[in-house]
Amino acid sequence: MSKQNPGSDLAYLSATDARRLFAARELSPVELMRAVIDRAEQTEPVVNAFAERLFDEALEQARHAEDRFLGKGGLTPRPLEGIPVATKEKHAIAGRSLTEGSLVRAGTVATENAPVIDRVLEAGGIIHARTTTPEFSIATFTHSRLWGVTRNPWNPHLTPGGSSGGAGASLAAGTTLLATASDIGGSTRIPAAFTGTVGFKAPYGRIPGTAPLSADHYRGDGPMARTVDDCVTFANVLVGPDPRDHVSLRPKLVLPAEYDTVEGMRIALCLRLGAYDVHPEIEDNTRAVARALVDAGAVVEEIELPWTKDDLLVSLAAHFSTIFGALVSETEAKHRDRMSVYAVAFADTMAEARERVSYLDGLRVETRLQRELAEAMAPFDALICPTTAVPGLPAGDDLLGRLVVNGEDHGEPLWAAMTAPFNINNRCPVLNVPSGHSSWGLPTGVQIVGHTYDDPTVFRVGKALERLRPWAYSPDRLPRLGPSSASSS
């Protein structure tokens, strides 16, 4: 295959372009993998996105992928053939660690692959690294006692978000082309917003998960990428029924590769979701997205939702304390001294919540919030709103008090992200795409919310915004991160 000069430009190829170049024999999967590995060697001392490196195995698999594109052995290339994929460490790989960022689980080894891992491997994707998370994936940042602090390539003083922070940081740093993520309160969309990437929270059941939390209707696994086309391709690999997850939907939905423009679409703009205090730069960038849609022929109408912080708190507290929080509390009861400060605080908060609200209390509020969203969206094809209320969060901060950045108080950390309302409404597909940049040095994001199980519409809007407001990781749009910043941070 033709030789290319590996470098940061090659590491920032889209998966779509890489696959095309492989097929044309203008690029070798081995060359691409070497470029990604070289980039990781430069950036990981600062970014720390990887919990485990599988570089030697990945290079060997890249050689096999090259053989497929050369027609050797009668094997044909698969959808992700030769593409580097970084997978979240909580996505189990048989025979490898399954710690979820916790000292409590150090030495735990997975006995079988998570469904999303099987899908990646079956599609020919090459898992070259596993990405960091906060302990048990319970935070909007990414650091742990086990792995240390993961930093945002755009501004290492700030976090890439969480819990899929390692995934977002790796994409932004050019050390992977695709990444697996998961989302129970925003864990895909928050890091996508803070890293200028594309993250898809699929509707509940679309992508199979792992027991017991596969039965938690707030959560779901999903894809992250740097472009909408890549996210579509990756989503089509991950979706579909799996017998290990009885709620996984059949038949398999196949997202189209091409989409109509947004001309004639009706789109709701909701800046505060009823309850959030939105930073002026976030509001400005979100309004700029709305104007771009209008200029492209869409009808955009600003609305407000009747949601209150009290209602959101009741729904979230009842749900999390009963399921996910109870799971963490089981560990905390035996291993409190080995857990991160924020994980202990989460377990304590959930224990208190269980005394105050019942699951039924939560369901009463949850179903009302769902109806209010459905009624507000009824005249529209989709809704757009900010992904986060603030432009960033400090790296390494447990966020147990007020959110203070550059000496300025930005309120309670709980309200920094605007994602959890759409875990309450988890039958709605939500796509995060970049909305611009802030003076804090980070990208900002906008959520595109679809009607229940209407996945194609959010990608239609996302694809239009990618054309209207390009954010591609081109040479003039890259984090200024490399060996020099590694030595100075």
Q: What is the pLDDT of residue 477?
A: 85
Across 52-68, average pLDDT = 98
pLDDT over 60 (residue 4): no
pLDDT of residue 487 exceeding 50: no
Choose the weakest-confidence range: 2-11, 173-182, 260-269, 359-368: 2-11
For residue 482, pLDDT beyond 50 = no
pLDDT digits (tens, 9 = 90+) for 236-259: 999 999 999 999 999 999 999 999
Which residues make Cβ contacts (< 8 Å) with residue 486, sequence separation at least 6?
42, 43, 45, 46
Reported as a pLDDT band with limits 50, 70 and 90, residue 473 is: confident
Quote the pLDDT of residue 7.
54
**What would the mean pLDDT of 22-44 be, rounded to a whole number?**
98
The predicted model gives 48-56 an average pLDDT of: 98
Would you say residue 159 has pLDDT above 80?
yes
**Of 128, 171, 173, 323, residue with least CA distance to 181:** 171
- Any idea which residue has 């698969």 for tokens? 78
- Residue 114 corresponds to which tokens in the numbers above? 């998570």
C-alpha span between 123 and 78 (Å, rounded): 5
Q: Which residue ranges form the domains of the chain, and what is each CATH number?
A: 8-488 (3.90.1300.10)
Q: Return all residues near 86 (Cβ < 8 A) that are at least 6 apart.
A: 49, 50, 127, 128, 129, 130, 131, 166, 167, 170, 171, 175, 176, 178, 179, 180
pLDDT mean across residues, the chain:
95
Q: Where are the beta strands (DSSP E) in 258-401?
A: 266-269, 299-302, 382-386
Please tell me the predicted confidence (pLDDT) of residue 8.
65
Asked, as a colleague might, if the bond just before 212 is cis with ω within 30 of 0, I would say: yes
Closest CA to 162 of 205, 199, 107, 124: 199
Provide the pLDDT for residue 480.
Answer: 85
Is it the case that residue 484 has pLDDT exceeding 60? no
C-alpha 488/C-alpha 132 separation (Å) is 23
Mean pLDDT of 81-105: 98
Q: What is the pLDDT of residue 3?
A: 47
**Residue 124 · residue 65 · CB < 8 Å:** yes
In tens, the pLDDT along 402-442 reads 998 878 899 999 999 999 999 999 999 999 999 999 999 99
Which pLDDT belongs to residue 475?
78
Map tokens 């929270």 to a residue: 201
Q: What is the pLDDT of residue 174?
A: 97
Q: Which of 179, 160, 177 is nearest to 222 (CA)?
A: 179
Q: Residue 486 pLDDT > 60, yes or no?
A: no
Active site residues: 88, 163, 187
pLDDT in tens, 380-407: 999 999 999 999 999 999 999 999 887 8
Report CA 227 to chain centroid distance, whole Å: 13
DSSP string computed for 24-41:
TTSS-HHHHHHHHHHHHH
Q: How confident is the model at residue 1 (pLDDT cuts 50, 70, 90)?
A: low
Of all residues in the chain, the percent with pLDDT exceeding 70 is 97
The pair phi, psi for residue 13, each rounded to 5°, is: -55, 145
The angle formed by the CA atoms of residues 253, 417 and 280, to the nearest 5 degrees, is 120
> What value does the mean pLDDT take over residues 160-188?
98
- State the pLDDT confidence band at 6, using cuts at 50, 70 and 90: very low
Give me 339's structure tokens: 């857990």
